[in-house]
Amino acid sequence: MAKIEGELKLLREEVTNMWNLVHSQLTKGLTALENFDKDLAREIVMIEKRVNSAELKIDRDCEDIFAIYCPVAIDLRFLLAALKTNTNLERMGDIAEGIAKFIIDTESAFKPALLKATKVVEMYHEAIYITEEILVAFEKEDSAIARGIFKRNEFLDKINMQANELIIGYLKDHPDEINQALNLLSIIRRLERLGDQAENIAEEIIFYLEAKVIRHAKKGKLID
């Protein structure tokens, strides 16, 4: 095995480990939301420090590989994709941390009827699934799975677009729950952004595997 191959293998493992940290933040966040577990939410905030450290380490390792090996072709594309994926994962960690802070700052447990009306739990489950699927695409080097992320993210976009109307409708009957409703709206907005970060990673996987840039292509009309 050429030395660069060993370095890229280690880099892939580092990115996967960071992915698992972010995934743990998200799964803990869903549990904290449903059970109103502020201690678990605080744990998510602590994990974010590890995510940030992982991002810095991956950045440094990418820079070292660039400087030492001057990679070309697919190795270069992988390195560029890993570097950008690293940034997107760090942002996903920030999003998970932001959701946790809304849970911490909320005074009392979210009303089950409000959670149901906003579809936030359903949205959260889908966001976690998307995060899992995009990791599978990365590990298996499967651009078909990566492309599937764009379709799945439409579900998050749909709930986000409906959120204002759903919450306004709920508050007409429960005007005293405005603070909870606004916090859930903020969580919904962050889950939508989580889907956008996953799409960015999907684009990087496709670029790495197929040497195709699809960032500016319309959804459903990806460049062949």
Cβ atoms 56, 127 nearer than 8 A: no
**Does 217 score more than 80 pLDDT?**
no
* Mutual angle of helices 178-210 and 120-140, in 10-degree steps: 20
Q: How far apart are CA 122 and CA 16, in angstroms?
A: 26
Question: Residue 120: is it exposed, middle or buried by C-beta count within 10 angstroms (0-12/13-18/19+)?
Answer: buried
3-210: CATH topology: Methane Monooxygenase Hydroxylase; Chain G, domain 1 (1.20.58)
Give yes or no for residue 222 having a pLDDT over 60: no
Residue 2 pLDDT = 79
Residue 50 pLDDT > 60: yes
Residue 218: which pLDDT band, with cuts at 50, 70 and 90? very low
Average pLDDT along the chain: 93
Element (DSSP H or E) covering residue 175: none
Phi and psi at 110, nearest 5°, equal: -65, 135
Q: Which residue type, as a one-letter code, is found at position 62?
A: C
What residues does each domain of the chain span?
3-210
101, amino acid identity: K
Query: Which tens digit of pLDDT belongs to each residue from 77-122?
Result: 999 999 999 999 999 999 999 999 999 999 999 999 999 999 999 9
pLDDT of 45 higher than 60: yes
For tokens 């319309």, the residue is: 218
Q: Report pTM.
A: 0.91
Please, which residues have CB within 8 angstroms of residue 161's CB and are 6 or more apart in sequence? none
- Cβ distance 190 to 200 under 8 Å? no
Task: Give the pLDDT mean for 202-213.
Answer: 94
* Region 21-47 average pLDDT: 98
Task: Please check the confidence at residue 212 and state whether its pLDDT lies above 90.
Answer: no
pLDDT tens readout for residues 129-161 = 999 999 999 999 999 999 999 999 999 999 999
- Residue partners of 166: CB distance under 8 A and separation at least 6: 117, 118, 119
- Asked if residues 93 and 100 have their Cβ atoms less than 8 Å apart, the reply is no
Is-contact 159 123, C-beta < 8 A?
A: yes
Instruction: Find the mean pLDDT for residues 51-78.
Output: 96
Q: In this predicted model, which residue has the larger pLDDT, 3 or 30? A: 30
User: Does the pLDDT at position 224 exceed 50?
Assistant: no
